[in-house]
Amino acid sequence: MANLSGWNGMRWLCGLALTACVFVAGCGQASAPTAATSSVAKPEEKPVYFKVDAATAGTVTGRIVYTGAAPVRKTVDMDEDPQCAKLHKNGKVYDDTIAVGKKGAVANAFVYIKKGLEGKKFEPPKEPVVMDQHGCWFEPRVLGMQAGQELKAVNSDPVTHNIHPKAKVNREWNQNQPEGAEAAVRKFSLPEVMIRVKCNIHAWMKAWVGVVDNPYFAVTGADGSFEMKNVPPGVYTIEAWQEELGTQEQEVTLAASGKAAAVFTFKGK
């Protein structure tokens, strides 16, 4: 037994107590769970998409009309690339910035539901939309798609093209496509109306892409008409866009299993 009397004894007892405290603290730290060991990886949550009730869904239709004298059609000069000019031996190519047909029908106008679907998230289509470069021309000139959907750009011509969507909200990109090149497949993750598409090689080649966060959009045909099906009942703001004439909005009320119509009239400048 150690001699605990006097100053040496007190010092020995204090040292023993300190050692015990360090041992206990050390054991406590070793047993305490760390953030790395206590946290459990959570599975990624799948988005909840809105499901339309087919029994109550309706249809929104309409037309885009141009009033006044129809714009004079201008020819497109492709002589700077003889290969492009050879693709149009049988006739002239006309600029279709404003395509006005019979009874003032406006083609290539983009129409979509702008307001009224807040709080509803729609699943992007799995099938891509296709933009072709054919006859040294973008086809179609105006294209609609849903955010998150794939855009597939192809080149059907025997010449090199370039596809350059000049996005402002989404990421801008730019890709050359020689003859026979693989399709360029990209996505726009955010809504953006509209994205101008150009070819850096052929200045006359222009197109537009409307990216929206819902499946309710349309591009008018030669008769100026549009149709959006399977729309849930509600009050909606419909916007019509035309690259030269600008935009217009109308509010429509769609009853359950009903039909609503909107006619947009653009006046010539």
Q: What's the pLDDT tens digit per position in 33-57?
A: 454 445 566 677 888 999 999 999 9
Q: Which amino acid is at 196?
A: R
Q: What is the arithmetic mean of pLDDT over 64-79?
A: 91
Q: Which pLDDT score is estimated for 60?
A: 98
The domain segmentation of the chain, as residue ranges, is 47-122+219-269, 124-213
Residues 122 and 49: beta-carbon distance below 8 Å:
yes
Most confident of 12-16, 91-95, 228-232: 228-232
Q: 220, exposed or middle or buried, with CB in 10 Å at 0-12, 13-18, 19+?
A: buried
* pLDDT over 90 percentage in the chain: 75
* pLDDT over 70 percentage in the chain: 84
Round the CA-based radius of gyration of the chain to a whole number and report it: 32
Q: Dihedrals φ, ψ of 153, to 5°?
A: -100, 125
Which of 20-24, 78-82, 87-91, 219-223 is the least confident region? 20-24
pTM of the model: 0.82
Q: What is the arithmetic mean of pLDDT over 202-227?
A: 97
Q: What is the arithmetic mean of pLDDT over 55-61?
A: 98
User: 82 in helix, strand or coil?
Assistant: helix
Confidence of residue 252 (pLDDT cuts 50, 70, 90): very high
* pLDDT at position 17 over 70: no
**Mean pLDDT for the chain overall:** 88
Q: Which pLDDT score is estimated for 40?
A: 67
Write down the CATH number for the domain with range 47-122+219-269: 2.60.40.1120
Residues 236 and 62: beta-carbon distance below 8 Å:
no
* pLDDT at position 109 over 80: yes
Q: Which pLDDT score is estimated for 7?
A: 42
Which of 142, 181, 140, 174 lies closest to 159, judged by CA? 181
Q: Which pLDDT score is estimated for 39?
A: 58
Measure the CA–CA gap between 193 and 144, rounded to whole angstroms.
9
Q: Is 47-122+219-269's fold the same as 124-213's?
A: yes
Confidence of residue 26 (pLDDT cuts 50, 70, 90): very low
Q: b/e per residue, 123-152, with b = 16+ CB within 10 A?
A: ebeeebbebbbeebbbebbbbbbbbbbbbe
Q: Which pLDDT score is estimated for 29?
A: 47
Q: Which pLDDT score is estimated for 41?
A: 64
Write down the CATH number for the domain with range 124-213: 2.60.40.420
